Amino acid sequence: MIVTVTPNPSIDRTVTLPSALTRGAVHRVTSVTSQAGGKGVNVARALTLAGLDTLAVLPAAANDPLISTLQTIAVPYRVVPTAEPARTNLTITEPDGTTTKINEPGATLDAATVAALTDAVLGTADGADWVVMSGSLPPGVPASWYGDVVALLAPQPCRVAVDTSDAPLAALVASLDRGAPDLIKPNHEELAGVLGLDPDALEDAVSQGDPAPVVAAARQLVDRGIGAVLVTLGAAGAVLVDRNGAWMAMPPPITPRSTVGAGDSSLAGYVRAEVGGAVAPQRLQMAVAYGSAAAALPGTTLPTPAEIDLNAVQVSPISPIPATR
């Protein structure tokens, strides 16, 4: 079973424009969709579509529309009760695939609810293959929470993935001496930010066909105990670094429709491949195939296995990069 944890779930409302977004103008939309969201929920949705045994753990209020949405799409869930309903996030997509997101901060969790959420994660982790914790932290949850939970999960045999950014990612990296996840999935900006590097330099290197700076940066985190670092690079693909090597995957050309959920789909693809017994380059291949398929779909629609084309993703090993210590 794969347990996904979404501390800050949402209803994702996506509006599609017939032309480019213009600030200050009046726009009439061509379509509107609302779906259960939050990064961990998206991972659970993608894995459920693939037929994997999945459980989404999240805080939500009684009679929250988010819960009925999960029931409709048949995603198994465990709810930690809260006083406030989940937030609503707005996504605006343009014809060329440009995506603008306007995210609410989320429902405030008091100390008792944070403790209940932690207990729910620890309880459901027993017997799980993976615990995947994803997304921002809502008001009331300390930035150290992911690092705290990773440390608490360290004695358990499950593998742990974390996909977050900003202060929670920095706090996780600062607490690696207490426990390190088996996988993190930053993009190049998040990777640069947590290591004090220049994100533009990493992006420029990749655009010039040189993934070595990204590999060297990710290697710093592997050397500090993280099992693997999956760095998503948008249209340029992704880089995977673990203790045994480094690989880069190039996605097939697509017509982008929405990037919402693409990173979450990549994480779902990696986990799906891993539980299926795939080796590292095959996990990377599945991750990029999932992310690419998601970007070609509208709104927060997530890909089914029938939409995944592994053969269209090219994976290459990267020359060894010296360890940083």
Task: Answer yes or no: is pLDDT of 325 > 70.
Answer: no
Work out whether the CA dihedral 163, 168, 169, 172 comes out positive or negative.
negative
Catalytic (active site) residue 210: no
Residue 22 pLDDT level (bands cut at 50, 70, 90): very high
Of 129, 166, 264, 309, the active-site residue reads 264
Backbone region of residue 245 per phi and psi (left: phi > 0; alpha: psi in -120 to 50; beta: other values): left
Per-residue confidence (pLDDT) for residue 254, from 0 to 100: 84
Per-residue confidence (pLDDT) for residue 31, from 0 to 100: 87
Task: Calculate mean pLDDT across residues 47-68.
Answer: 93
Task: Answer yes or no: is pLDDT of 320 > 70.
Answer: no
Which homologous superfamily does the CATH classification assign to the domain defined by 2-317? Ribokinase (3.40.1190.20)
Domain residue extents for the chain: 2-317
Per-residue confidence (pLDDT) for residue 20, from 0 to 100: 94
Closest CA to 259 of 310, 306, 293: 293
